[in-house]
Structure 1
Amino acid sequence: MLITGFHYFEKISNQARWSVLQSFNVLKWHRHVH
């Protein structure tokens, strides 16, 4: 159960990290365009 919880937390963390990275890329792209 502990391992499953850790795996779930890792998946959420990875998804959040990807979302932040995508937002940062969009922001950088907008800044480069304008």
Structure 2
Amino acid sequence: MPRCGGELVRRNGKYGEFIGCSNFPRCRYTQKI
């Protein structure tokens, strides 16, 4: 879980799908799916 307390949302990036923080770009937390 991100330390900022944000929600995790599924996103598509350059290298495929990942889970990232909804507070991006303030919070850079990511996780592989």
TM-score (norm 2): 0.15
Higher Cα radius of gyration: 1
Q: Select the structure that is richer in strand.
A: 2
TM-score (norm 1): 0.15
Choose between structure 1 and 2 for higher RCO, CA contacts under 8 A separated by at least 6 residues.
2
Q: Select the structure that is richer in helix.
A: 1
